[in-house]
Amino acid sequence: MSSTIVTQNLLRVEDLGVIDYLTAWKMQKEIQEKVISNIDPNTLLLLQHPSVYTAGRRTEITDRPLDNTPVLDVDRGGKITWHGLGQIVGYPIIKLKNSTDVVGFVREIETAHIEICSEFGIKAQRYCERSGVWLRDDKGDRKIAAIGLRVAKGVTMHGFALNVNPDLTAYTKIIPCGIADAKVTSLSAELGRNINIDEVMTVLKKHILPMLERVSQ
């Protein structure tokens, strides 16, 4: 069941529940055009996708599944990734205050996710050579949140994906984000217990919404 709220600074937040990737992609593009034209306010779409592999513009042939599993080629940055149930996907469609500092916006998203993980007792961190949010310890490097964006006329689309409790075996068919020597993890996997989406969604909004309001105009 979808719901919409508008924050104090006129950021529209839409909880869409489970929605297929192509429908959400079409929705993003339509909203982006309206934000560019000052018809719609800055918007954050929060949702889950049924299982789908998507390939960003830098995806290599060797990153893709070897068994002919379907992959959608999309217009975001980055490489190949997977979306599925148990993962919170966020698509911020906002007009950036500093339209030339896309890297700075990625860093803001990373910081917010590090804070989210910290609330669950997980020490996540930024990995300067690699986008996204990581755990790095004696168990190896593990990605817990992925980020991939597209910016047109200063307005963003696509966004982030935080692994809450997905079936991580889906990642075994690909080289996630094109990084062969790193693993993928989730809040539930790290804590050794089931964490539900609703529990994380509240914490995510606490950190993501003020950040988006701060960096948008």
Q: Are strands 72-73 and 80-83 parallel, antiparallel or unpaired?
A: unpaired
- Rounded distance between C-alpha atoms, residue 159 and residue 27, angstroms: 14
Catalytic residue status for 177 = yes
Distance CA 163, CA 124 (A): 13
Nearest to 134 by CA among 169, 167, 102, 181: 181
In which order are the strands placed within the sheet that holds 72-73?
Answer: 72-73, 52-55, 80-83
Look up residue 126 and give its two tokens: 């930024």
C-alpha to C-alpha distances, 58 to 63, 132, 139, 147, 179, nearest whole angstrom: 10, 16, 28, 14, 12
The tokens describing 98, both together, are: 């500093």
Point out the catalytic residue in the list 74, 147, 177, 195. 177
Task: Name which of 208, 189, 200, 215 is nearest 119 in CA terms.
Answer: 200
Q: Which positions are catalytic?
A: 177
